[in-house]
Structure 1
Amino acid sequence: MDQEGMAERTPWEIVLPDESATEDLGRFLAEILRPGDLVALSGGLGGGKTTLARAVIREIVGDPDLEVPSPTFTLVQPYESRNGQAVVHADLYRLRGPDELVELGFDEMTERAIALVEWPDRLPPRHGPTLAIDLSLKPEFGDDARLARLIGGGGLGGRLMRARALRVLLDRTGWGEAERSHMQGDASSRTYERLTNPDGTRAVLMISPPKPDGPPVRDGKPYSAIVHLAESVHAFVAMDRGLRALGLSAPKILGEDLDAGLLILEDLGSEPVVDQNGPRPERYAEAVKVLARLHGTTLPTVLPVAEGRDHVLPPYDREALLFEAELLPEWYAPFVANAPLPPEARAAFVSAWSEALEGLETEARTWTLRDYHSPNLIWLPERDGLERIGLIDFQDAVLGHPAYDVASLLQDARVDASAEFELRLLGLYARERRLRDAEFDMQGFARAYAVLGAQRATKILGIFARLDRRDGKPGYLAHLPRIEGYLARNLAHPALSGVRAWYAQHLPRLCPDA
């Protein structure tokens, strides 16, 4: 049985010594409840059901003084928060029968609301996320003490388990009293919060529970396995400690629960390496030097995570690179052409890219952080030298060609960088590499840079089209013209003649000079 399944069946028992503790539990539960959830509150008269429900409602609505009477006579009482979140509080003790619920419109009222139901045994059978809470008096623990027994179902058990683990972690590491505020994340399933303690100290909470395998998409393997995406925080922890061991500014890990996918990280701030005009030259130069330092160092391929746990960096092999590139014919091409590509065109695409990628796997490999670009680089002016570049979001690191991360930086999907600026920083990279290796092959590097830059642009065009079409996130489409420009720049290299010919035939907008 997996961890999520165990959470659905394992009760959590909490002794609540007084009414204040019951209210604390209500505020805690409010953080994990979502529209469509049912909280079934059981227990005898005076057990604390209404007290608990009142605390949940006040927390969700955002009004600690809100009058929340028991709905004993009205049966159902709706509430709404400032952001439109609906909460329904029901007391079914006086319910005459299921027909009365229909008359009240209970199902319609709770369809998109959080439902808190006292005397839930009077409800008809119901599917969906449910949290059953039984409250009983426990005088042996104190005059006002109660025992709360919580069991989650329909996915709520997993949420409850993670919230419990988070509360334990925050308390254990000294962040239990911190104010939590949501931080803008990325296109992944990870979420981030900024923690601010009463004394003003800050940290970042990373919430990244282990991800189950997705559906098989090729040869019985899910997408994440083919392209080697991290499925737990183990990879982040391993890379973080590896980067810090090299003297680079990855965030310190202040607390961790590896099984729950929770990390408390040093807050590196938010000062970017770009401004409204584009790249800041000094900051980009330091970012280039960080890569040159990394690529000129002999690096381990296995990194420790915790005692008895290691992380093996996977290879950024041709299968992964090719599969990523295929996102373009799958998502981007139908998006711009309003029609799917015929099978023979897709087969020709794979053939052209297979030829272009030939030989890259045999060249020297290094840590490829993969998303080494402006959103994941933080300027730390109070530090010195290369430590001024703060590094985040490197959990998907692989063993790949050094050119990949250089292209990721200099052809940033979100930043306009001129060809002249790009060439100047490529020259800086070459000089830095030659300081450590007089035989550094810039010609071979330039070929790999063009191929991997084109592969990355091709992949991102597919990803951004997919984010719009599949995930309803059209904001990424604003970056397409920039990425198309970078792709056209790369396609000018002779190593990509076959790929360029395919684009010229099937997507001529990507080859404006063809």
Structure 2
Amino acid sequence: MSTSLIADETLTAALARMLAAQIAPPATILLEGPVGAGKTHFARAFIRARQGDLAEDVPSPTFTLVQTYDDPMGSQIWHADLYRLTDPSELFELGLDDAMQDAICLIEWPDRLDIAPPDPLRITLTPCPDPDLRRIDLDFDGADRMAARAAFVTQAGWAEARVLPLAGDASARRYFRLEGPQGRAILMDDPAGAMPAFLTMTDWLTGHGFGAPAIIAQDQASGLALVQDLGDDLVARVLERDPGMAPLIYDRVVDLLVDLHRQPVPGFVPALDGAALADQVGLFADWYPQAAGVTDGAAGAGIAPLIARLHDALAVLPPVLALRDFHAENLIWRDASPLGLIDYQDAVAAHPAYDLVSALQDARRDVDPALETRAIDRYLAATGVDADAFRAAYALLGAQRNLRIMGIFTRLCLRDGKPRYLDFMPRVWGHLQRDLAHPALTELAAQVNALPAPDAALIERIRARCPSR
């Protein structure tokens, strides 16, 4: 999507750094505009951002036509200035044609090219009457969000920060780490409209002593926020490098939930009741049976209403605050400090077992069943709730979550072209089978197990239909 903005040198460089954080080779960036418009200033900021601590001098290639740079992010950067180009055939001798096949190429004066490169990112810089400003027009997918991020960090005083991409999730949200003179911070970009809920929940959590990040700057209308960087020690990474820490970590997870559930439920979170759970699990019937080759259009249709009835019968405890996406990828280990919390904008009022089953039946990693039992027992001992009733509700909520996840993973592949989540399906199905073994879920087990299990052959059939292939 194309967009435009008026920028000084600071914002121009911030825009270049933001682009450097999200681009992957091969990519060709066409920098258009008259002499003095700021094309080389943009290219210089881009190259230095990619190189980070290894940044070289970035002279203008006006006389050499091309300068090349090693890219620590795994590619090579070509910076070309074609103003003095007299014959397009010289580009063949320089190797620019080949470079555009596998490198990142920034090309000033691209009108000198005899053949336009395929799918370029086009950036046009035009001087303004004020000599300190220029108009920048960006024409490529995602340009509007990138420009919004650059303007936001500039207004927040972080324009000079290097921008590094962080792993995202299955949603449209994006995360970046900023490293600048002030230290480090996390830039959150949520175009889906959940930023107000995130900020409201952050205020509540920090106000009650929980480990949510401090807010440095925010623009709710634009879906942008700059927050405290809680570090790289996601619980998932800590467990991967030191599995022996699992008992201590999951004890801390349980204790956090016990403390959270002692707080009155804030009035601004929606209820995750039986009807809402049924609505969510409808994703399973909408996507999985058909993907599994079941021709009966009504297959799985009875699961959602049964979930609602079972919830009314089994979820007898008062609801508590549930952070909902509560698992090892969204918890940060900080030694003796409270566990860091992220990705809680979808918090709800739900049965106390909801977040516990989310943490212990993790789609991305195995949790020792004995450790799961230990964690449930720890929660029961700390809260004094009825053990049998809690375990029945735990099994139901586990089944609901795992069915919903199966539907989401199928949809991510077939609709969104993201097949990597299919690899988690066997683990999720295993969690589901353990939940369905509870005597209270016999009827639900019969309906679910009438459908094919996601064995290797079935997963490959779904993967073959992924539009990314």
Residue 6 of structure 2 is matched in structure 1 by 12
**Counterpart check, 1:379 vs 2:333:** yes
| SS class of match (1:132) | strand
Residue 261 of structure 2 is matched in structure 1 by 295
| SS class of match (2:302) | helix
Contact 1:61 1:81 (C-alpha < 8 Å) held by counterparts: no
Residue 390 of structure 1 is matched in structure 2 by 340
| Counterpart pick for 1:42 among 18, 21, 33 | 33
> Residue 242 and residue 341 in structure 1: after superposition, are their counterparts in 2 closer, same or farther (change >3 A)?
farther
| TM-superposed deviation, 1:233 | 1.6
Structure-to-structure mapping, 1:61-460, within 5 angstroms? 62=51, 64-65=56-57, 68-70=60-62, 82=71, 83-84=74-75, 89=80, 91=82, 116-118=107-109, 130-135=122-127, 146-153=132-139, 156-169=143-156, 171=157, 175-197=158-180, 202-211=183-192, 231-269=193-231, 270=233, 272=235, 274-275=239-240, 276-277=242-243, 280-302=246-268, 313-334=269-290, 337=292, 339-359=293-313, 364-383=318-337, 388-434=338-384, 440-460=385-405
Find the aligned partners of 1:79 and 1:355 in 2 and give their Cα distance.
65
* Runs (5+) with no aligned partner, structure 1: 139-144, 212-230, 303-312, 435-439
> Residue 56 and residue 120 in structure 1: after superposition, are their counterparts in 2 closer, same or farther (change >3 A)?
farther
Say how many residue pairs are matched: 440
Structure-to-structure mapping, 1:468-483, within 5 angstroms? 468-483=413-428
> Residue 401 and residue 277 in structure 1: after superposition, are their counterparts in 2 closer, same or farther (change >3 A)?
same
Task: Give the fraction of aligned pairs with identical amino acids, expressed as a percent.
Answer: 29
Find the aligned partners of 2:285 and 2:391 in 1 and give their Cα distance.
26
Q: TM-score, normalised by structure 2?
A: 0.76
Residue 20 of structure 2 is matched in structure 1 by 31
Find the aligned partners of 1:22 and 1:405 in 2 and give their Cα distance.
42
> Residue 508 and residue 166 in structure 1: after superposition, are their counterparts in 2 closer, same or farther (change >3 A)?
closer
> Residue 178 and residue 136 in structure 1: after superposition, are their counterparts in 2 closer, same or farther (change >3 A)?
closer
| SS class of match (2:227) | strand
> Residue 119 and residue 95 in structure 1: after superposition, are their counterparts in 2 closer, same or farther (change >3 A)?
farther
Greater CA drift, 257-266 or 444-453: 257-266
Greater CA drift, 86-95 or 49-58: 86-95
| TM-superposed deviation, 1:410 | 2.1
Contact 1:295 1:402 (C-alpha < 8 Å) held by counterparts: yes
| SS class of match (2:450) | helix
> Residue 252 and residue 122 in structure 1: after superposition, are their counterparts in 2 closer, same or farther (change >3 A)?
same
* Runs (5+) with no aligned partner, structure 2: 456-469
Deviations 1:202-230 (A, max 9, x none): 5331322332xxxxxxxxxxxxxxxxxxx
Please say which structure displays the higher CA radius of gyration.
1
| TM-superposed deviation, 1:28 | 4.2
Contact 2:311 2:396 (C-alpha < 8 Å) held by counterparts: yes
Find the aligned partners of 1:445 and 1:22 in 2 and give their Cα distance.
55
Deviations 1:263-308 (A, max 9, x none): 3333333163635537621221221122122223222212xxxxxx
| TM-superposed deviation, 1:121 | 11
> Residue 114 and residue 349 in structure 1: after superposition, are their counterparts in 2 closer, same or farther (change >3 A)?
farther
> Residue 119 and residue 357 in structure 1: after superposition, are their counterparts in 2 closer, same or farther (change >3 A)?
same
| TM-superposed deviation, 1:134 | 0.8
Contact 1:368 1:397 (C-alpha < 8 Å) held by counterparts: yes
| SS class of match (1:149) | strand
| TM-superposed deviation, 1:114 | 6.0
Find the aligned partners of 2:414 and 2:251 in 1 and give their Cα distance.
37
> Residue 347 and residue 59 in structure 1: after superposition, are their counterparts in 2 closer, same or farther (change >3 A)?
same
> Residue 135 and residue 496 in structure 1: after superposition, are their counterparts in 2 closer, same or farther (change >3 A)?
same
Q: CA RMSD in A?
A: 4.3
